[in-house]
């Protein structure tokens, strides 16, 4: 019932791994694609750089000590903070639409992890 998947994300020469509920992984992939599609439209001077969603998979065993598995909610919280930080500086693009999508996934993940805790 509480199956998780991992995502491989890449920004320039850095890779990161994010663990998400399997039921929500497609939302992370779609959100990442949407954000990349809209990123060039941002006019804020400190527009964020985002990793590209490379792959998703079921099992992950990290053997290199410099890589860690990020909690999905932690990743989404950082993403929300990153876009919230430029909200006042963004004059052209309706950033609230992107923040709404990020926050919707954030709320779903919060609920999912609460249910997982209650079940455990």
54/46 Cα distance (integer angstroms): 24
The whole-number pLDDT of residue 93 equals 84
Spatial contact of 40 and 91, defined as CB atoms under 8 Å apart? no
Q: What pLDDT is attached to residue 59? A: 85
Residue 115, C-beta contacts closer than 8 angstroms, at least 6 positions apart: 2
| Three-class secondary structure of residue 115 per DSSP | helix
| Alpha helix (H) residue ranges in the chain | 25-39, 72-85, 95-119
Mean pLDDT for the stretch of residues 86-92: 88
pLDDT in tens, 35-75: 999 999 999 888 999 999 999 999 889 999 999 999 999 99
Q: Does the pTM of the predicted model rise above 0.75?
A: yes
């Amino acid at each position: 019932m509480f199956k998780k998947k991992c995502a491989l994300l890449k920004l320039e020469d850095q890779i990161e791994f994010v663990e998400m509920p399997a039921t929500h992984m497609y939302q992370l992939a779609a959100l990442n694609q949407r954000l990349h599609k809209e990123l060039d439209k941002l006019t804020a001077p400190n527009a964020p750089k985002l990793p590209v969603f490379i792959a998703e998979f079921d099992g992950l065993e990290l053997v290199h000590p410099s890589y860690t598995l990020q909690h999905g909610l932690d990743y989404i919280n950082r993403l929300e903070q990153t876009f919230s930080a430029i909200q006042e500086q963004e004059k052209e693009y309706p950033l609230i639409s992107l923040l709404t999508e990020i926050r919707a996934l954030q709320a779903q993940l919060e609920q999912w992890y609460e249910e997982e805790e209650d079940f455990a």
